[in-house]
Amino acid sequence: MNALGRHILVEFYDCSPELMNDVVHIENSMVAAAETAGATVINSTFHHFSPYGVSGVVVIQESHLAIHTWPEFGYAAVDLFTCGDSVDPWVSYTFLKEAFEAGHGSSMELRRGQLNLLKRTDFNLEALRDVSQKPNDVPGTITRDVWFTERDENIALSLKHSGNQLYKKDSDYQRVEVFETLAYGNMLTLDGMVMCTQKDEYVYHEMITHVPMFSHRKAKRALVIGGGDGGTVRELLRHEQLEEVTLVEIDELVIEACKLHLPETAVAFDNPRLNLLVEDGIKYINECEDGRYDLIIVDSADPVGPGEGLFTAEFYQQVHRCLTPDGVMITQSESPRFNSAVFVEIYDTYKQIFGESKVHCYLAAIPTYPTGTWSFSYSSKGDSSPLIYDKTAAAKFSKEQGLKYYNEDIHAAAFALPNFVKELLNKGSQEIIEQYSAEPTNE
């Protein structure tokens, strides 16, 4: 060679959009492309961005391979840089073109470090050498750094995962995936949005269930719309007073994925008191008889995709009709800090249907949800109040059931709202919304 290294700038066109958005496939392909060319792989770092796009680099002993993808264009920009003459980067090029199902590719090769322009300098190698090898730098091993990123307009959550995707299927409604994260265990995502993880799901599920159950002690029949992960019905079925719990989940793949990879949440699907229905929750509510349920929990995803119809006044009016005279509706009501406009709008809707004095907001800390602060709504058709509850019974229940978040003090404390949340709920002007929202208001 007449140069220190070979650098190939590659553009792959007409690639499979699905593969261009698959961080696991891309990371595996890039590592394999390096190894096939004879390179020694040291480290791989890859990020998947929501809703689409992957960036990453494979560090090799002979330099690196890097990539960024645009799935919406079926396009990938790739750098293949190898030092010395022991590795042929064109082998990697051919491998990746096939792995990405590219229609065609273009490339330009640069010779880096032209030897006739360089002057060799003698120096003491011993002075530059590390004192000792780090314990985990075992020769022949690869350090993998693969990341999932849920990215919105102004904020993002990144979680490192093992690189081995546990579950990935497309239903008629959404893409259902499970990743093995290092910080939070197995994580369920729908269309690239985090739904729950093994290590923090208990916060959401305990707070959406036990607050109403200890405030409405006469509840016998409960309905859950959504919640195919099983965590909400798991918590409800801890209460022996409930004679029947009906779960209506539109997507059977959510149930399947959680049974396989989040068994702690899906543990109650065989309970004899559970009536599991795989169907459209909106259709079920519209056809439900008047006054059937004491408690209805709307355990929905964000107002996009199949969950969009669960955020309308028409739907909540139907829920109100299906409640007994003293029934209660509980919903996850988004983050007051993340998308303040949606937060304000849905509470205004609840108040119009249930009455202003009968709608209450309460909060919980959920690390993997946008901003970490999440809200729930308590709307009563009758005189039930969330702050009138049996504190002694709640304390006993929390201890006996081994709950991880809910207890008798958290029950009341969750309704102590920060001043900015009170402002949003009481005023809700566009100026107030813009002051607090982390996302654009599109106004």
Which residues are marked as active site? 63, 68, 83, 299
Q: Which conformational region is residue 442 in: left (phi greater than 0), alpha (psi within -120 to 50 degrees), or beta?
A: left
Is 352 annotated among the ligand-binding residues? no
Q: Which H helix or E strand runs over 315?
A: helix 313-322
Residue 45: count of CB within 10 angstroms of its CB? 17
Is 130 annotated among the ligand-binding residues? no
Is 437 annotated among the ligand-binding residues? no
**Backbone CA torsion sign across 309, 313, 316, 317:** negative
Determine contact, residues 299/225, Cβ cutoff 8 Å: yes
CA pair distance 271, 151, nearest whole angstrom:
37
Is 280 annotated among the ligand-binding residues? yes
CA pair distance 84, 62, nearest whole angstrom:
7
Q: Which of 310, 313, 312 is nearest to 297 (CA)?
A: 310
Is 303 annotated among the ligand-binding residues? no
DSSP-derived pairing of the beta strands 75-83 and 104-114: unpaired
Helical ranges in 3-70 per DSSP H = 17-20, 23-36
Is 191 annotated among the ligand-binding residues? no
Contact residues for 62 (Cβ-Cβ < 8 A; gap 6+): 39, 40, 82, 83, 84, 86, 87
Is 435 annotated among the ligand-binding residues? no
User: What single string gives the DSSP state of each residue in 252-286?
Assistant: HHHHHHHHHH-TTTSTTTT-TTEEEEES-HHHHHH
Is 261 annotated among the ligand-binding residues? no
CA pair distance 243, 274, nearest whole angstrom:
9
Is 174 annotated among the ligand-binding residues? yes
Please count the helices (runs of H) and the strands (runs of E) in the chain: 14, 19
Please enumerate, by residue number, every residue annotated as part of a binding site: 174, 205, 229, 249, 280-281, 299-302, 306
Please enumerate, by residue number, every residue annotated as part of a binding site for S-methyl-5'-thioadenosine: 174, 249, 280-281, 306
Please enumerate, by residue number, every residue annotated as part of a binding site for spermidine: 205, 229, 299-302
